[in-house]
Chain A
Amino acid sequence: MSLIEIKGAAKGFGPAGARTEVLKDINLAIEEGEFVVIVGYSGSGKSTLINLISGLVKPDAGVATISGETITGPGPDRGLVFQNYSLLPWLTVEENIALAVDEVFKDWTAAQRKEHVWKYMDMVKLKPAAHKLPKELSGGMRQRVAVARTLSMNPKVLLLDEPLSALDALTRATIQDEISEIWRQNLTTVVWITNDPDEALLLADRVIPLLPTAPATLGEPILVDLERPRDRKTLNHDPKFKKLRTQLINTLLDAKGRMKPKASVKLTLPDILPEDLTHVNSLQFLNRSGPKRRSDSKREEVEVAV
């Protein structure tokens, strides 16, 4: 049995009538210890998908399970890292992490909990910033705190919702490597959401494209059997990597292409041609042979996508 399974899930938002269906026919199975990356366009429902697993969103149809149990709400077994870090700005780095640790490990002594907090601060190399407030940290450091806070709960699965999309490219690369390294050491199950195909292939065991149909659905998964640790510099020239990337991008582009005007309406322009009214009082105007019909000259049609 897989660790996480989603069967036939669908989700829409809004009241009846003005309802937008976001996801349909979502079937997904994630094995223990697997690093799965879900790639999709912005606004295609990626966050909704990960929130089905985190429990922040309940599916309209179908079911999501972890270790065979139906997911009904958030829980410490599924650690979620938010896109915008979501650190509490009035707490220091240490306090932000301690907030999670104190809640999950209630039966530990204060000393044990403190040690646990520091272990994870060390893991993301933030010991020197322990007593700083989030606003004193760079974006990359903030995201590392968020990752540490989530990992410190010892979750069965680490869910990351576009964790690096707010960072600059260089910082992003560093943190990709760091999280990849942490994963290799701990082998927690990871579900990572991104809109960057390169990031997906660099990190994942398996990449699943989220196709931008309306409502969105999952495409054929792509197995990434590149050796680890992966080095981004050599990877760029790896023919296997190039092939996988082409395959992934084409899958996404094709789905997007199919979304283009499936339905179109042919509009016929008004039949009567406009008249020149600047010289209404001229003889020419008075002697004209009435309004002209467009159909007399030629028939024009315009195609408009809807």
Chain B
Amino acid sequence: MHLIQRFKLESILLPFSAILVCGLLWYLVAGKSIITEKVDDFGDKIKVTKRAGLSADLPTPVETWKASKLYIEEPFAKRGELDQGILRFTWMSLVLVVQGYIIALVIGTPIGFFLGLSKKFTIAFDPIIQVLRPVSPLAWLPLGMILFSGVKIVNGEGRTIFGASDAAALFTIAICAMWPTVMNTAVGVRAVPQDYLNVAKVLKLSKSKTLWKVLVPATLPYMFTGFRLSLGIAWLVIVAVEMLTGRPGVGGFLWQQYNANSYAHIILCILTIGVVGYVLDRLMSVVESRFKTA
């Protein structure tokens, strides 16, 4: 009992002190406003604000909170196309991520199966995959723009609802997020115990039955590990994609606020992206652990 209490206290107290230390460091590095009174040429008294500190433009934690309060307290407000509550922006980003992510899984999983099942396919495509895998999202996006330059879906009122930049965004997310799913599925298929394959052989299961009743269930744990890693990457990519395309979303908001010299909001965005990424990862690992036992 005593031990549990101590453990609980530690698991709360230690992270909090770490956050406190980081906050303090942030405060020390951040610039502070120094307000001085001065008499100007006309003899009037005016206040002059000067920023000083190690990084003069970096807002302090308190300033960040003050500037971000509105966005957090009204998370779903829409004051304008580029001025919305933080969760509203997050939601827009999430919708895009999910679309790209689903494309990644639908394409990546079968490729993984082919890689795992066929040695020839692996030998043929492995070099291409290894070369494409480390390419950054920033490099894929322009290619996507060119690839889908003709895409334009217009609604009744003549407004474009799905254009080249949307297609390019999805393309970039999908192609970057695909690889962990491809690799893990391939590894999983290769790791299917020979016993299960022997069962399929002895029972003379048909090809499709072997796939659905033996291979897929045996590979599921590996596949879900891949899915989790893919989701992490998809969420990483979204920020870059939104910055480059100027789409509204948490990444687009970040870039726009940087250009507007509103530095406090950048920190708000970074924290939001981090928290959302963490939550997504936790959710996926809950799903993943459900399949671990199989």
Contacts and interface: CB of A to CB of B under 8 A. Distances in A.
A51 to B, nearest CB: 9
A84 interface: yes
B205 A103 contact: yes
Contacts of B218: 90
B195 interface: yes
For chain B, give the interface size range. 10 to 19
A88 B199 contact: yes
B78 interface: no
Interface string A73-86: 11110111010101
Interface in B207-228: 209, 213-214, 217-218, 220
A28 interface: no
Given A86-B196, A88-B196, A74 B202 contact: yes
Given A88-B214, A90-B294, A99-B213, A76 B204 contact: yes
A56 B206 contact: no
Contacts of B196: 86, 88
Contacts of A89: 294
Among A54, A74, A82, A135, chain B packs the most CB atoms within 10 A around the CB of A74
Interface in B142-200: 195-196, 198-199
A153 interface: yes
A249 interface: no
B102 to A, nearest CB: 24
B1 interface: no
Contacts of A76: 203-204
Contacts of A226: none
B293 interface: yes
B201 interface: yes
B199 A103 contact: no
Nearest to A95: B213
B195 A103 contact: no
A56 B202 contact: yes
Contacts of A86: 195-196, 198-199
Interface in A133-185: 135, 153
Contact of B199 (A73, A82, A104, A135): A82
Contacts of B202: 54, 56, 74, 78-80
A99 B201 contact: no
Interface in B254-294: 293-294
B206 A84 contact: no
A79 B293 CA distance: 28
A99 B196 CA distance: 13
Nearest to B213: A99
Contact of B195 (A54, A82, A99, A100): A82
Contact of B205 (A79, A91, A99): A99
Given A88-B213, A90-B217, A135-B293, A103 B198 contact: no
A88 B217 contact: yes
Given A88-B213, A88-B217, A153 B203 contact: yes
B209 to A, nearest CB: 7
Contacts of A104: 203-204
Interface string A47-80: 0000000101000000000000000011110111
A74 B294 contact: no
Contacts of A79: 202
Contacts of B195: 82, 84, 86
Contacts of B217: 88, 90
Nearest to A80: B202
B294 A82 contact: no
A56 B198 contact: yes
Nearest to A146: B199
A108 B294 CA distance: 30
A74 B214 contact: no
Among B196, B201, B205, B218, chain A packs the most CB atoms within 10 A around the CB of B201
Given A89-B294, A90-B217, A103 B201 contact: no
B210 to A, nearest CB: 10
A84 B199 CA distance: 11
A74 B205 contact: no
B206 A103 contact: yes
Interface string A101-122: 0011000000000000000000
Contact of B209 (A103, A135, A153): A103
Contacts of B204: 74-76, 103-104
Contacts of A75: 204
A97 to B, nearest CB: 11
A76 B218 CA distance: 23
A88 B202 CA distance: 13
B294 A103 contact: no
Nearest to B291: A90
23 contacts: A54-B202, A56-B201, A56-B202, A74-B201, A75-B204, A76-B203, A80-B202, A82-B195, A84-B195, A86-B198, A88-B199, A89-B294, A90-B217, A90-B218, A90-B294, A91-B213, A99-B213, A103-B203, A103-B204, A103-B205, A104-B203, A135-B293, A153-B203
Given A54-B202, A74-B204, A88-B196, 12 more contacts: A56-B198, A76-B203, A79-B202, A82-B198, A84-B195, A86-B195, A86-B196, A88-B199, A88-B214, A88-B217, A103-B206, A104-B204
Interface of A: 54, 56, 73-76, 78-80, 82, 84, 86, 88-91, 99-100, 103-104, 135, 153
Q: Which 7 A-B pairs have the closest CB atoms?
A: A90-B217, A86-B195, A90-B294, A74-B202, A74-B201, A80-B202, A86-B199
